[in-house]
Structure 1
């Protein structure tokens, strides 16, 4: 468990993490050294190890959490506002734009590979990201059910899980092929399926 920090300490730690994230995006995780992070953030070795006593592995895990948070931030405000079909389309388009801009370079994927995907820290990052993402989709589905735009018999949790699984599959295929087609298809087909049986005006 991370020890409590003062407000100034939290700000310094966040600055180190953001600087490390920027270095990794530019250089790649394998080429980023602690010296690069210290130079970019204006911190000493003593400061860096004060906030990350276990060194680079602990810092990389913190950057992985930062990148996981960014996945959701990049979808806002659309992800938190899935209250109409135009809003769902806007979220769909934002997601496509995000992954087109990212292309085949995924900072989070590289970081998790470096720290070990099966380690408890990496699993906690991924589990937390998927839980928050799925909860936001579930909330959107339930809102649409309350307005009659999605059929009440749709299992919101399972539908959100299926949509999220499809997104992850589309992203993996994008990383492997450089093509966005699969992500577009899974979003379009799954969102269209949610309309089936809905109340018609």
Structure 2
């Protein structure tokens, strides 16, 4: 159980995690040492082990959690307001741009390779990231469904899960090949399917 920290303690811990994330992005996970993190953050070794008694492995998990938050933060403000087709398109462009900038590297993926995806802490971070991401997509789909006036049943959660799975497939291919074609196709097809199913039908006009 993580102990409660003072405001100053939270700020110091965050500074160490943020600095470690910067170093890991620049140098790669495998070559980074605790001394590199200390030099970047101006923290003492005593401070580092106070906040991360498990040493490097615990710090890497904290950085992975930070990077998971960054995945969602980089999609804002559009991920939080997917209530129009224009915002869905802007969100799509933002997702593509983010992963094109990363190219065939991914800080979060590299961290999980180092700490092991099967470790309980890593699995929990991935599960929480996917849950929050899917919930945001579901909220956007629900807003469009409500605005469509459709009375037929529509499985919002299943559609959000399918779209997220398609995105992850596209990202995996991008990380393997450096090409964003599949990610673009996954997003474009997913949004097109939603638009087809959720565009309000024209009301029939009865001759007067």
Same fold (TM over 0.5): yes
* Partner Cα distance (1:78, 1:138) in 2: 13
1:200 aligns with 201
Q: Who is 1:181 aligned against?
A: 181
Structure 2 counterpart SS, 1:153: coil
Whole-angstrom CA distance in 1 between matches of 2:38 and 2:3: 22
**Is 1:6 the counterpart of 2:6 in the alignment?**
yes
Q: Distance in 2 between matches of 1:13 and 1:133?
A: 25
2:90 alignment counterpart = 90
Q: 1:103·1:174 contact (CA, 8 Å) conserved in 2?
A: yes
CA distance in 2, matches of 1:164, 1:151: 25
* C-alpha distance in structure 2 between counterparts of 1:45 and 1:10, whole Å: 17
Corresponding residue number in structure 2 for 1:56:
56
What is the TM-score with the length of structure 1 in the denominator?
0.97
Q: How does 1:23-172 map to 2 (within 5 A)?
A: 23-148=23-148, 152-172=152-172
Report the Cα offset of residue 200 of structure 1.
Answer: 3.5
Pick which of 36-45 and 190-199 moved more.
Answer: 190-199
Deviation at 1:199, TM superposition (A): 1.0
Residue aligned with 2:148, SS: coil
**1 CA distance for matches of 2:189 and 2:47?**
50
- Relative to structure 1, the CA distance from residue 146 to residue 26 in structure 2 (aligned partners, 3 Å threshold; closer, same or farther) is same
- Alignment root-mean-square deviation, CA: 1.2
Instruction: Please say which structure displays the higher CA radius of gyration.
Output: 2
Q: Distance in 2 between matches of 1:77 and 1:58?
A: 31
Could you state the TM-score of these two structures normalised by the residue count of structure 2? 0.94
Q: Which moved more, 1:190-199 or 1:24-33?
A: 190-199
Which residue of structure 1 lines up, in the alignment, with residue 16 of structure 2? 16
Distance 2:67 2:135 in 1: 19
Instruction: State the aligned residue count.
Output: 201
Distance in 1 (alpha carbons) for counterparts of 2:185 and 2:50? 47
Q: Which runs of 4+ in 1 moved over 4 A?
A: 149-152
In 2, the alpha carbon distance for the partners of 1:17 and 1:150 equals 47
Is contact 1:145–1:151 with CA below 8 Å preserved after alignment? no
- Are the structure 2 counterparts of residues 149 and 72 from structure 1 closer, same or farther at C-alpha, using a change threshold of 3 Å? farther
SS in 2 for 1:147: helix
Change (3 A) 1:42 1:193: same
